[in-house]
């Protein structure tokens, strides 16, 4: 089992709004902002253990699919096979996606 996990969802929002909401969702779920910006469409977060070479890196990719509609794909890459806080590998995308869903209106 690789531990890789991916979740995708679509929101009625602009990319800058999604970017801000992603940073807030990360803060609420214990991830730290590592890099990215709204213009690149890619944002990377890490668990606090990443500095030790362990933990989980979560990447969020944003793509505008219609005016004021953005698709977000959240994926993870656990390092050294470390199990996430919830006891499952790759649980970061689930936590981050759930938090993000509470901050933005879903499309459709």
Domains identified in the chain and CATH numbers: 5-101 (3.30.310.80)
Q: How far apart are CA 90 and CA 97, in angstroms?
A: 12
Residue 9 DSSP code: E
- Least Cα distance to 19 among 72, 93, 98, 94 occurs for 72
43-97 tens-digit pLDDT: 999 986 545 556 788 999 999 999 999 999 999 976 654 444 444 445 889 999 9
Report pLDDT for 84: 42
Report pLDDT for 42: 95
pLDDT at 103 over 80: yes
């Amino acid at each position: 089992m690789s531990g890789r996990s991916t979740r995708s969802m679509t929101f009625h929002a602009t990319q800058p709004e999604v970017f801000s909401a992603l940073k807030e969702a990360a803060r609420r779920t214990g991830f730290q902002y590592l890099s990215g910006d709204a213009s690149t469409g890619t944002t990377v977060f890490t668990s606090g253990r990443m500095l030790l070479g362990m933990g989980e890196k979560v990447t969020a990719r944003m793509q505008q699919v219609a005016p004021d509609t953005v698709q977000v794909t959240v994926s993870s890459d656990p390092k050294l096979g470390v199990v996430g806080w919830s006891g499952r590998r790759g649980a970061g995308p689930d936590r981050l996606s759930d938090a993000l869903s509470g901050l933005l209106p879903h499309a459709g």
